Structure 1
Amino acid sequence: MIHQYKSNGYNIVLDVESGAVHVVDDITYDVISLYEENSADEIISKLKSSYNEDEIRECISEVKELVEDGQLFTEDIYEPFVEKFKEKRQTVVKALCLHIAHDCNLACKYCFAEEGEYHGRRALMSFEVGKKALDFLVANSGNRVNLEVDFFGGEPLMNWDVVKQLVAYGRSLEEPNNKKFRFTLTTNGVLLNDEVMEFVNKEMSNVVLSLDGRKEVNDRMRPFRTGKGSYDLIVPKFQKLAESRNQTNYYIRGTFTRNNLDFSEDVKHFADLGFKQMSIEPVVGPEEDPYSIREQDLPQIMEEYDKLALEYIDRYKKGNGFNFFHFMIDLTQGPCVYKRLSGCGSGTEYLAVTPWGDFYPCHQFVGNEDFLMGNVDEGITKPELVKEFGNCNVYSKEKCKNCFAKFYCSGGCAANSYNFHGTINDAYDIGCEMQRKRVECSIMIKAALADE
């Protein structure tokens, strides 16, 4: 399968199965579009009114060489092995999302966790529950050395002492078990202070800082419970933390809604504030919610991604660039074989742990009892759920089969699929459209910066 598109003056051809990207001239672009379904004579006949016949023949020859070299119209050699892979796959757990606090000091309007309470169960994780979770991770990680633990909420800093205790306990497990923990933290910043920053900079491999963008955008969707906005309090703290980490190993993470479909302005605002690592994600919610993104919003969203891509290139060329998560794509290795066959890893390699120690496939399934997989005392009690999630990948989803971006998203979010279609083996259509656009922008950016 190939995907052809034009962007910012570039003619781009992606060979989906191999991951090869070609930036070509007009004649090559047109020849490739006709190559599979037409003979050389037919291609010449169709293009001779636009190009010189000898040039067309030469171009056909060059395209043929690319095909023979495995860089165009390649076949997917992995799909036939997917069933054997699933049967023989030995599941090891490599990451936990610890819901250290089912409580929050903000009242974000789009919060899937219902202001941190997750369906009414306000709670803080005890050290004992967290300790058992880390023990489970070590015991079920097989020969894997590097393990990941994200302190999540609600707001994790509301249970800060337990965070520190669990980091210390995790460090004590490393040498005797030949493991290395990579701790991360997601915070809204309200309780961020110098003591927290010092600890975070010492122990946390990455920090996710929640901020939606411009003051009016952020404060509309991320207020305190009193209704007062959070922007003025948290932005100076985030700036200080980003600088203290030398502008690396953190992300400013925002959410855009129908209220700010001009979200490229929010990313520019992040950059103007001095942040270098950023992401802004589309909100996901029922269509009846006033802030939810709808199909009719997609044209404007596509334009915003185009605007953002051009801004990204311009700032980079001026020496004032930034990293935008969705534009960070690796084209040097080709599509990851493992991701082709394993999906995102939720429910198999990655689990969410509630404050009382229950296991769910990921944080977005927490509270849905149909996806309760076990607990820290008994381990996994529903292996059939592990198997179901292990079978979820781009080959199990009909919508993925003819999608050029499938190997860059691994089939998308299982929770979004379930929430919109009642099965983890479908896809969230609006999200798919945005993902395809982001992949196109990412590849175009690579082409533009390669010209430098």
Structure 2
Amino acid sequence: MIHQYKNNGYNIVLDVNSGSVHVVDDVVYDVIPAVEEALCTSREGKELEETVLSALKDQYEEADIREALLEVLELKDAGLLYTEDIYEKYITDFKGRQTVVKALCLHIAHDCNLACRYCFAEEGEYHGRRALMSYEVGKKALDFLVANSGNRVNLEVDFFGGEPLMNWQVVKDLVAYGRSLEKPNNKKFRFTLTTNGILLNDEIMDFLNQEMSNVVLSIDGRKEINDLMRPHRGGQGSYDTIVPKFKKLAESRNQMNYYVRGTFTHNNLDFAEDVKHLADLGFEQISVEPVVAAPEESYAITEEDIPAILEEYDELARELLKRKKEGRGVNFFHFMIDLKGGPCVAKRLSGCGSGTEYLAVTPWGDFYPCHQFVGHEEFLMGNVDEGITRTDIRDEFKTCNVYAKDKCRKCFAKFYCSGGCAANSYNFHGSINDAYDIGCELQRKRIECAIMIKAALAEEEGE
């Protein structure tokens, strides 16, 4: 499978199955689809050559076409173009692998001190009741993780909410308990925490810097945008409270191992301005992601919004590339892409591992496939006392991969997005093996922009 596109003056060709990326001139760009069409009709050798020459004779000189054709065929012979998809055969063995849990999302607090308008957790309640996780429940969850992690050494635990800092003492106690489990069980915990920042103080920051491998700081960008969507329960904005704290925390972590994480909605389709605003505040690790909401919500992204969003991603890519070349670059999460290595084949096929490798734990100890399924009782998988009792749910998620989704099979982005979010698929289509269509459109554009940035930087460095 070949994907070709033009972006910011670059002709970019992606060989999907090998992951090879080529930046080419106009002749090669047009020869590539002509060769692909000829190969699909089993033309080879002289017949292929004549077919390509005939298709492009009105656009280019014959000598230029022949030179480009030779280059394209050399790339084909080197396994860098028109490569075969060998991974579908692999998925059969992958589906039968032993389930090993490697990560938990601990819902340490089903409560929140903000009233964010787009919150899928309903101000922390998750379709249920407000509650704080006890130390005893969290301890059992960590014991479950160790017991079900097989030979895996590195384990991940994210403290999530609601707002985790509303249950801060239990966070600290569970980190200490996790550390006590490491040496006896040959495990290493990587703790992370997501916070709205309202309760951040120096004591908490010191602990986060000592124990948390990553911290996610929730802010939507410009003051007027953030305060519209992320107000206190009394209606007052949160921007002025959190920005000084977030700046202090980012600096104390040497601008590493954190993200300021925002959400853009129908209300700010010019979200590139929010990314630039966060960068101008001094943040170097930034994520601003599209809201996922029911169509009837006033802030929901609609099909009609897509053209404007795609243009905005192009604008953002050009701006971030410009800043990088000027020596003031930032890392934008959705434009980060590894073209030389990247995730292993299993991750490329199966995605985040929700319901199998990754589970969410409620304050009362129930297991769900991930935080976005919490409160949907049909996805209740078990609890910290009994373990996984609904193995049928786990087995359903084990089969969730890019080859189980018809929309993914012919999509060039499948090995980068790994089939997208199962929760979004379920919420919009009633099946975890479908795909959220608006999300797919935006994901494809982000991948194109990310590759363009890589190409431009490689060109500047002479690669």
- Normalised by the length of structure 1, the TM-score is 0.99
Match of 2:41 in 1: none
SS at match of 2:400: coil
Q: For 2:71 and 2:344, how far apart are their aligned partners in 1?
A: 27
Match of 2:64 in 1: 55
Residues 159-206 of structure 1: CA deviation (Å, up to 9, x unaligned): 000000000000000000000000000000000000000000000000
Name the amino acid aligned to 1:279.
Answer: S
Q: 1:33 to 1:273 in 2, by over 3 A?
A: same
The 5 Å alignment of 1:33-72 reads: 33-38=33-38, 39-72=48-81
Match of 2:354 in 1: 346
Residues 285-311 of structure 1: CA deviation (Å, up to 9, x unaligned): 110000000000000000110000001
Match of 2:434 in 1: 426
Name the amino acid aligned to 1:71.
Answer: L
Is 1:372 the counterpart of 2:380? The answer is yes
Match of 1:15 in 2: 15
Is 1:145 the counterpart of 2:153? The answer is yes
Is 1:186 the counterpart of 2:189? The answer is no
SS at match of 2:100: coil
Name the amino acid aligned to 1:158.
Answer: M
Which of 269, 275, 280 lines up with 2:277 in the alignment?
A: 269
Q: For 1:64 and 1:333, how far apart are their aligned partners in 2?
A: 25
Kept in 2, the 8 Å contact 1:17–1:335? The answer is no
Is 1:257 the counterpart of 2:265? The answer is yes
Give how far 1:81 is off: 2.7
Give how far 1:334 is off: 6.2
The 5 Å alignment of 1:403-442 reads: 403-442=411-450
Q: 1:208 to 1:132 in 2, by over 3 A?
A: same
Kept in 2, the 8 Å contact 1:12–1:22? The answer is yes
Q: For 1:335 and 1:94, how far apart are their aligned partners in 2?
A: 16
Segment of structure 1 superposing worse, 339-348 or 217-226:
339-348
The 5 Å alignment of 1:21-420 reads: 21-38=21-38, 39-87=48-96, 89-333=97-341, 336-420=344-428
Residues 200-241 of structure 1: CA deviation (Å, up to 9, x unaligned): 000000000000000000000000000000000000000000
Give how far 1:47 is off: 1.6
Match of 2:43 in 1: none
Kept in 1, the 8 Å contact 2:197–2:246? The answer is yes
Give how far 1:124 is off: 0.1
Residues 358-407 of structure 1: CA deviation (Å, up to 9, x unaligned): 00000000000000000000000001111000000000000001100011
Q: For 1:93 and 1:310, how far apart are their aligned partners in 2?
A: 40
Q: Which runs of 5+ in 1 are unaligned?
A: none
Kept in 1, the 8 Å contact 2:350–2:419? The answer is no
Kept in 1, the 8 Å contact 2:381–2:391? The answer is yes
Q: For 2:349 and 2:221, how far apart are their aligned partners in 1?
A: 36
Q: For 1:118 and 1:415, how far apart are their aligned partners in 2?
A: 14
Give how far 1:91 is off: 0.8
Name the amino acid aligned to 2:109.
Answer: A
Kept in 1, the 8 Å contact 2:348–2:417? The answer is no
SS at match of 2:37: coil
Residues 232-264 of structure 1: CA deviation (Å, up to 9, x unaligned): 000000000000000000000000000001000
Name the amino acid aligned to 1:11.
Answer: N
Kept in 1, the 8 Å contact 2:194–2:217? The answer is yes
Q: For 2:400 and 2:253, how far apart are their aligned partners in 1?
A: 37
Aligned pair count reads: 451
Give how far 1:46 is off: 2.1
Name the amino acid aligned to 1:80.
Answer: K
Q: For 1:271 and 1:80, how far apart are their aligned partners in 2?
A: 44
- Normalised by the length of structure 2, the TM-score is 0.96
Give how far 1:85 is off: 2.2
Residues 384-433 of structure 1: CA deviation (Å, up to 9, x unaligned): 11100000000000000110001101100000000000000000000000
Kept in 1, the 8 Å contact 2:408–2:414? The answer is yes
Kept in 2, the 8 Å contact 1:104–1:116? The answer is yes
Q: Which runs of 5+ in 2 are unaligned?
A: 39-47
Give how far 1:121 is off: 1.0
Residues 295-350 of structure 1: CA deviation (Å, up to 9, x unaligned): 00000000110000001100000000000000000000267311233232000000
Residues 424-450 of structure 1: CA deviation (Å, up to 9, x unaligned): 000000000000000000000001111
SS at match of 1:111: coil
Name the amino acid aligned to 2:426.
Answer: Y
